[in-house]
């Protein structure tokens, strides 16, 4: 306590310093607390907002597939299904490409090529979602409709999942645009993981007489496997939260259609689509509950991803 009150002694320069430092830390902390308060408010509002609908339906909210705002009927299953399906399909498309790109950047390309190429990949992530959506509506969706969908129909049409109405707009187009959008994220994380693998490991495998691919397989892919998993988890989180491009391309129908080409909706797209027009209290509440779910799930996913990254880095640096 002496240090707290010693500023009364004006002769004591050191305690003055200590006092002003104390005030500065107090100032910074009170400012920074605002940020923490925002986060707490965010959680409280989402939780409070979702209470009315959750009180009525209980857990059934998440398993009921009937979403009909005009009849005040709310079940979130179609959106959970749409979110998971688009994110998984997007990952299936993006992961091999992103891992290859990261391999190219770290193992194959010379520095002269890797730098501008990495820059181009990063540029992919700076294009706004709404611009991807615009491009998707006028370029990608017609392309899917004319070229890709008939391909699936002709060769895999006997599986109902690959058969669907020829709109161009639907789950597949949304997943495709999502794949483009999460590609830079996965590439960046994989690249970081591959770079953290010690060169001695690579040299060791080469010294055993392996080809470059054998080196990549054993020293890079196997050593960095958990890191790749972390990258995939991060991409999954991004894909779930993406809103605009998906909203513009998925067709926005609250339906569970077991077809890759049918229109659907995701948790994020239904919030963007229906919030501006939601009037009934229960409707707003249901959207809040969906937002809360999205929040919790994406937090969990990014937490898992961060955990894996840290464990991997610790293991590799040993």
Per-residue b or e along 96-121, where b marks 16 or more CB atoms closer than 10 Å to that residue's CB: eebbebbbbbbbebeeeebeeebeeb
Site for another protein, residues 112 to 131, rule: CB under 8 A: 117, 119-121, 123-124, 126-131
* Closest approach of another protein to the CB of residue 217, in Å: 8
> Which is closer to another protein, CB of 212 or CB of 315?
212
DSSP structure class, residue 121: H
Would you call 275 helix, strand, or coil by DSSP? helix
Nearer to another protein, 258 or 310 (CB): 310
Spatial CA neighbour of 119 closest among 186, 192, 184, 189: 184
Of residues 75 and 291, the one with the C-beta less far from another protein:
291
Contact residue for another protein among 161, 213, 225, 258 (CB under 8 A) = 213
Tokens (6 digits) for 131: 């611009």
What is the rounded CA–CA span in Å between residue 307 and residue 301? 10
User: How far is Cα 206 from Cα 52, in angstroms, rounded to an integer?
Assistant: 63
* Region for residue 52 given its phi and psi (left: phi exceeds 0; alpha: psi -120 to 50; beta: otherwise): alpha
Binding to another protein, residues 31-70 (CB under 8 A): 31-32, 34-36, 38-39, 41-42, 45-46, 49
Q: Which of positions 151-190 make contact with another protein (CB under 8 A)?
A: 180, 183, 187
Supply the Cα-derived Rg of the chain in whole angstroms. 25
315 scored as a contact of another protein (CB under 8 A):
no
307 binds another protein (CB under 8 A): no
Closer by beta carbon to another protein, 132 or else 261: 132
> Is the Cβ of residue 60 or residue 217 nearer to another protein in the bound state?
217
The 276-305 site mask, x for binding another protein (CB under 8 A), equals x-------x--xx--x--xx--xx--x---
Q: How far apart are CA 209 and CA 37, in angstroms?
A: 59
Contact call for residue 28 and another protein (CB under 8 A)? yes
Is the CB of 160 or the CB of 212 nearer to another protein? 212
Residues 64-103 that bind another protein (CB under 8 A): 96-98, 100-101, 103
Per-residue DSSP letter, 256: -
- Name residue 68's beta-bridge partners: 73
250-279: which residues touch another protein (CB under 8 A)? 268, 271-272, 275-276
Query: SS3 for 65?
Result: coil
- Report if residue 244 touches another protein, rule: CB under 8 A: yes
Residue 144 binds another protein, judged by CB under 8 A:
no
> Of the two residues 232 and 287, which places its CB atom closer to another protein in the complex?
287
Shortest distance (Å) from residue 301 CB to another protein: 8
Burial 4-23 (b: 16+ CB within 10 A, else e): eeebeeeeeeebeeebeeee
Nearest approach, Cβ of residue 238 and another protein (Å) = 9
Closest approach, Cβ 152 to another protein, in A, equals: 19
Distance CA 121, CA 100 (A): 12
């Amino acid at each position: 306590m002496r240090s707290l009150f010693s500023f009364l002694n004006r002769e004591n320069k050191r305690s003055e310093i200590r006092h002003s430092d104390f005030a500065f830390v107090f100032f910074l902390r009170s400012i920074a607390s605002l940020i923490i308060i925002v986060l707490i408010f965010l959680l409280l509002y989402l939780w409070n907002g979702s209470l009315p609908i959750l009180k009525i339906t209980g857990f059934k909210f998440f398993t009921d597939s009937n979403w009909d705002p005009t009849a005040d009927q709310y079940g979130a299953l179609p959106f959970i299904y749409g979110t998971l399906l688009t994110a998984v399909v997007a990952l299936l498309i993006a992961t091999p490409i992103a891992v290859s790109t990261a391999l190219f950047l770290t193992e194959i390309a010379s520095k002269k090529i890797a730098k501008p190429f990495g820059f181009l990949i990063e540029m992919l992530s700076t294009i706004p979602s709404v611009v991807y959506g615009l491009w998707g509506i006028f370029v990608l969706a017609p392309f899917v409709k004319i070229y890709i969908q008939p391909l699936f129909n002709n060769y895999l049409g006997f599986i109902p999942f690959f058969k669907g109405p020829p709109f161009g707009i639907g789950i597949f187009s949304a997943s495709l645009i999502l794949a483009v959008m999460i590609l830079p994220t996965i590439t960046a994380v994989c690249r970081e993981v591959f770079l953290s693998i010690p060169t001695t490991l690579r040299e060791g495998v080469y010294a055993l007489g392996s080809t470059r691919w054998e080196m990549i397989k054993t020293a890079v892919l196997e050593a960095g496997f958990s890191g790749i998993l972390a990258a995939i988890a991060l991409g999954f989180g991004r894909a779930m939260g993406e809103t605009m491009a998906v909203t513009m391309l998925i067709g926005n129908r609250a339906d569970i259609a077991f077809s890759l080409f049918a229109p659907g909706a995701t948790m994020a797209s239904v919030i963007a689509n229906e919030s501006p027009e939601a009037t009934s209290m229960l409707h707003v509440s249901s959207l809040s509950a969906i937002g809360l779910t999205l929040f919790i799930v994406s937090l969990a996913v990014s937490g898992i991803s961060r955990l894996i990254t840290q464990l991997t880095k610790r293991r590799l640096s040993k």
